[in-house]
C-alpha cells in the first residue's frame, strides 16, 4: 500500500512538472485567434444589420460539370467626415471588410475557405479545406504577420501554397471593394 501511495505521488508530481514546463502559447497566434472569435461575434451582429454581401457565381468546370461558388463578405459601415471646399463638413460612409467565406464544389468534392483581415485590410488568417492526393479531406490554417506567412498548421502545404492563399484573399478583398463601390453592376 505504501508503494502504491508513492507511485501515485510520483505520477502526480510528474504531471505537474510537465504542465509547468509546457510551452506557452504563441502570443501572435493567440491574438489572431482572439480576433477570429471577435469576427464571428461581429458576423452574427452584422447579419441582422445587413452588413453581409453574398455573391454567387455559377460556371462549368471541364469534365466535372456545373459548380456554384458562394462568397460571403462581412464588413462594417463606418461614417466619416471631410471638410468641403466651402468649409462645410460632408459625411461619407466606408465599409471596412473584416471576413470572407468562400465555398464551392468541383464535381463531388466540396471546398471551403475563410479569410480574416485586420482594421487596415491586411490578411491575418486563412483557413482552407480541400483534399490531399488520396482524396482525404484536410484542413490548413495560415497565420500572417504584415503580409508574411508567420505559421501554418495542418498538413504540409504544397510549394507556394501560402502565397496562393494570400493572393486569393487579396483578389477577393479587391473584388469586394469594387462591388461595394458599384452596387448596381
**pLDDT attached to residue 147:** 85
* Residue 125 burial (C-beta neighbours within 10 Å; 0-12, 13-18, 19+): buried
Task: For residue 110, list its beta bridge partners.
Answer: 105
Choose among 137, 116, 114: nearest CA to 127. Answer: 114
Nearest 5°: CA angle at 45, between 42 and 49?
Answer: 120
Q: Quote the mean pLDDT of the chain.
A: 83
The pLDDT, as a whole number, for residue 66 is 87
Whole-number pLDDT of residue 7 = 46
Collapsing DSSP to helix, strand or coil, 29 comes out as helix
For residue range 29-79, list pLDDT tens digits in order. Answer: 999 999 999 998 888 876 666 688 899 999 888 887 888 999 999 998 777
Q: With bands split at pLDDT 50, 70 and 90, how would you rate the model's confidence at 114?
A: very high
Q: Residue 112 is inside which H or E element, if any?
A: strand 109-117
Q: What pTM did the predictor assign? A: 0.79
- Helix locations, the chain, DSSP H: 2-21, 27-49, 161-181
Identify the pLDDT of residue 82: 67
The predicted pLDDT at position 19 comes to 47
Amino acid at each position: 500500500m505504501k508503494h502504491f501511495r508513492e507511485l501515485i505521488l510520483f505520477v502526480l508530481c510528474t504531471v505537474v512538472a510537465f504542465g509547468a514546463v509546457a510551452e506557452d502559447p504563441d502570443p501572435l497566434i493567440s491574438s489572431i485567434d482572439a480576433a477570429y472569435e471577435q469576427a464571428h461575434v461581429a458576423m452574427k451582429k452584422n447579419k441582422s444589420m445587413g452588413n453581409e454581401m453574398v455573391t454567387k457565381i455559377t460556371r462549368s468546370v471541364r469534365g466535372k460539370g456545373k459548380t456554384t461558388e458562394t462568397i460571403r463578405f462581412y464588413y462594417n459601415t463606418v461614417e466619416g467626415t471631410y471638410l468641403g471646399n466651402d468649409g462645410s463638413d460632408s459625411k461619407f460612409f466606408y465599409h471596412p471588410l473584416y471576413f470572407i467565406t468562400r465555398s464551392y464544389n468541383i464535381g463531388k468534392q466540396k471546398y471551403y475557405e475563410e479569410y480574416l483581415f485586420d482594421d487596415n485590410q491586411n490578411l491575418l488568417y486563412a483557413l482552407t479545406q480541400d483534399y490531399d492526393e488520396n482524396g482525404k479531406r484536410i484542413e490548413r490554417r495560415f497565420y500572417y504577420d504584415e503580409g508574411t506567412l508567420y505559421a501554418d498548421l495542418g498538413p504540409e502545404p504544397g510549394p507556394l501554397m501560402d502565397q496562393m492563399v494570400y493572393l486569393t484573399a487579396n483578389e477577393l478583398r479587391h473584388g469586394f471593394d469594387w462591388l461595394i463601390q458599384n452596387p448596381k453592376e
